[in-house]
Structure 1
Amino acid sequence: MSHPSIQSGFIDHLGIELIRAAAGESELRLPLAAHHMNSWEVMHGGVTMSLLDVALSLAGRTASPEGSGVVTVEMKTTFMQPGQGEMRAFGRVLHRTTTMVYCEGEVRDAQDKLVAKAMGTFKYLRRLAVGREVRQQRPRVAPPGD
């Protein structure tokens, strides 16, 4: 099976680095910078959830049929304590079917303290329609006398 990569401008912008992803497991690294922080000067919850989403989805992709990607269907995150310094995220597949994969993961700081934990459900997709035109339907206006 091929080694999954992270190909996302958003993930690149955050600075998330892939350490490993194979056999239903993943590990990521994120050295926190000023733009990752909230007003309390600790890792923003959205950054934490993004890190977990990537870790879980990469773990799921390594257990997928060749060529499949995943999209997040649901993810529950529990925040344990503030994150500071260098973060590590880990993802692991719990169960998979032909169309879905169920994963868990966590984020730990440089002292190996548990920062957050998550469980997620992901759907396998062959390919997303990218760049297609999306038209907004206009509400039907009834002609006078209707």
Structure 2
Amino acid sequence: MPLQFPVHIPFVEQLGLELHSMGDGQAELRVDLSEGHLNSWEVAHGGVLMTMLDVAMAHAARSIHMKAEGMGPGVVTVEMKTSFMRPGEGELRALGKLLHRSTTMAFCEGSILGEDGQLVAHATATFKYLRALPSRGRALKPLQRREAD
């Protein structure tokens, strides 16, 4: 059964991604592909795969702060390298793993598996831990946390 994402991410919700686990430096997302996820070859669009990898790795990076007030800092992607191995079809699983962290950075890897367990895509990424994000006019934008139930 899917979990509620700890932060409000409209783009992820629009894509229909589901969070299935998060903790101890790991996270798992799933999506059952629909027509809106497909490219002109009628397989998962690379942007959907990259988003799944990015979000899975970011949640793995944040998972170590789950017990901290407000779940600790948020993360922003600094860089990401993705390799596509085979077409994504049907239900896809994205697995994110925190490899190493410092006080300000997280280094992660992620994989997407197809229904048959075959590797569809793999990525590595670096994230920066942030409490707020500077935006236009140098104003700080706070992380949009979910209210506790």
- TM-score scaled to structure 2, two decimals? 0.82
Shift of the 4–100 alpha-carbon distance from structure 1 to 2, 3 Å rule, reads: farther
Q: Which has the larger radius of gyration?
A: 1
Q: How does 1:67-146 map to 2 (within 5 A)?
A: 67-129=72-134, 133-134=136-137
Cα RMSD, aligned residues only: 1.8
CA distance 1:127–1:88, shift in 2 (3 Å): same
- Distance apart, 1:62 and its partner CA: 1.0
* Misfit runs of 4+, over 6 Å: none
Determine the C-alpha separation between the residues in 1 that align with 2:124 and 2:65: 18
Write the deviation string for residues 113-141 of structure 1: whole angstroms up to 9, x where unpaired: 10000000000001225xx6449xxxxxx
**Cα distance in 1 between the residues matched to 2:48 and 2:137:** 29
Point out the more displaced range, 35-44 or 66-75: 66-75
Which amino acid counterpart does residue 50 of structure 1 have in structure 2?
T
Q: TM-score, normalised to structure 1's length?
A: 0.84
**Counterpart in the other structure of 1:26:** 27
1:6 to partner: Cα distance? 4.3
Distance 1:6 1:115 in 2: 27
The structure in which a higher percent of residues are helix is 2
The percentage of aligned residue pairs carrying the same residue is: 51
**AA of the residue aligned to 2:31:** L
Residue 5 (structure 1) shift: 1.8
Distance 1:19 1:25 in 2: 11
In the TM superposition, 1:46-65 aligns within 5 A as 46-64=47-65
Structure 2: stretches of 5+ with no match in the other structure: 139-149
